[in-house]
Amino acid sequence: MRDYYVDIVWPINIAILAAVILTVAAIIICLILKDYIWHRRRQELLDIKSNVYEMAISGRKKCVIPKSSAPRLTSRQLIDIETNRGRDMVFFNDSEQEMFKKCFITPEYIAALSRTVKNSWSKRRRIEAIICLGYSGSDKAVDALAGPVLSRDTDIAYFSIIALGRIKTPRSAGLLLRAMKNSPANRLKISSLLDGFPPETADEIIKFTDDKDPDLRALAITLLARFNPVKYIKKLESLAEDKSPEVRAAACECLGASGSAQAGATLVERLKDGNWLVKTRAVLALEKVEGAAALPEVINLISDASWSVVDAVKDVMTSHIKESLPYIEKFISGKDEIAKKYSAIALENSGYVTELLGRIAEGRGDSRDLRLLEGVIKSGLHFGVEAAVGSLDSAGRAAAVKAIGKIDRKLAGHIKRRLSALERREGPA
């Protein structure tokens, strides 16, 4: 009975001991192997670097890949050189990277990468090759990415999208747009990747404004806004009558971005749209197209039912505060509470309150200034008044507080207390 325990336990012990020894060995081997691999990676990169410099010195056209490295540039090496990532790696600065690319990224190399993307059984190899195709930045790489970007495998599709984002050509943009159609999840990402593409991209994008999917239509129009859409005003004007409100709104935005006065009439028409988003966009776009001249057209929308539209009108007033003053005066003394509030906000946001308080503090304020100030304070939205007073010098502060005190004694007292607290903290103004 006694030996029985020992007989069970010792064999187990020996098995675990063997496992322990094996694990330790595995750790050590893993460490040594990793160090060696990193060492080799570094040496090969150094070889490539010196090769690149040799090229630059001798002015030779053809590039010779050094003996110690693999028969051709591996994907890993290209990624290392491009990302400069990894501990104690060999770094390639911008000019070296350029020299390197000129030397190594050849049509044959891209063809080899394309083959890897198509044929390799290892997903990692494929991803690496896809990334490298992106780094090559060459239009020739686009064909190889046509398949993967529409792949069902989300990883492959994702990396292909990123790679295409690096190849800034119209063809690549066309593919990205097709991917956009294919995978709704990646739409926003793709649209942001298209940011730095050349102007010709617009010709690809316009094709998608006739798509069946209204979301895609709207997105394509929004994208078009970034590529100087003047050429497509006619098309956009017809899109502004689209069935889908999102599309109409996007068309308005795009017309605004075109900055062309030609669009004015269409936009004025859209102000009467039934949808709040379209109206909002139309207000903002009209301002972009016509500037202050848009005020008479949009100002009546301040009593619109949707706060978003009212907000847009307020923004227009804010950017053209001088021209809006007659309207604001009317609103502030009027009955419409919402118009009153938004007028007050426009006055504050535009910095007019600061200007006006400055005049009052210097004693130059006219009756209109006082009326506006009263309107702002009475509207209850006077968060900015305090800061505006704070920006004056001490004599100005006293005068401003006095003027405010005539309108609202409580507020004046509050501001005075806050200002003296500020002065205690930071010294007098």
The site for other proteins (CB under 8 A) is made up of 1-2, 5-6, 8-10, 12-13, 16-17, 19-20, 23-24, 26-28, 30-32, 34-35, 38-39, 42, 46, 49-50, 53, 56-57, 79, 83-88, 90-95, 97, 124, 127-128, 131, 134, 158-159, 162, 165, 185, 188-189, 191-193, 195, 383, 425
CB of 255 to other proteins, least distance (A): 21
- The residue (of 9 and 261) whose beta carbon lies closer to other proteins is 9
Nearest-Å Rg of the Cα atoms of the chain is: 34
CB of 376 to other proteins, least distance (A): 17
CA dihedral 182, 187, 193, 198 (to 10 degrees): 70
CB of 339 to other proteins, least distance (A): 23
CA-based end-to-end distance of the chain = 94
Pull the structure tokens for residue 253: 């935005």
How far is Cα 321 from Cα 350, in angstroms, rounded to an integer?
Answer: 7
DSSP 363-427: T---HHHHHHHHHHHHTT--HHHHHHHHTS-HHHHHHHHHHHHHH-HHHHHHHHHHHHHHHHHH-
CB of 387 to other proteins, least distance (A): 10
CB of 227 to other proteins, least distance (A): 15
CB of 378 to other proteins, least distance (A): 20
- The residue (of 15 and 305) whose beta carbon lies closer to other proteins is 15
- The residue (of 195 and 200) whose beta carbon lies closer to other proteins is 195
The DSSP call for residue 200 is T
- The residue (of 34 and 371) whose beta carbon lies closer to other proteins is 34
- The residue (of 57 and 243) whose beta carbon lies closer to other proteins is 57
How far is Cα 145 from Cα 160, in angstroms, rounded to an integer?
Answer: 6
- The residue (of 109 and 159) whose beta carbon lies closer to other proteins is 159
Q: What is the CA 278 to chain-centroid distance, rounded?
A: 23
**Rounded alpha-carbon distances, angstroms, from residue 235 to 224, 241, 258:** 11, 10, 12
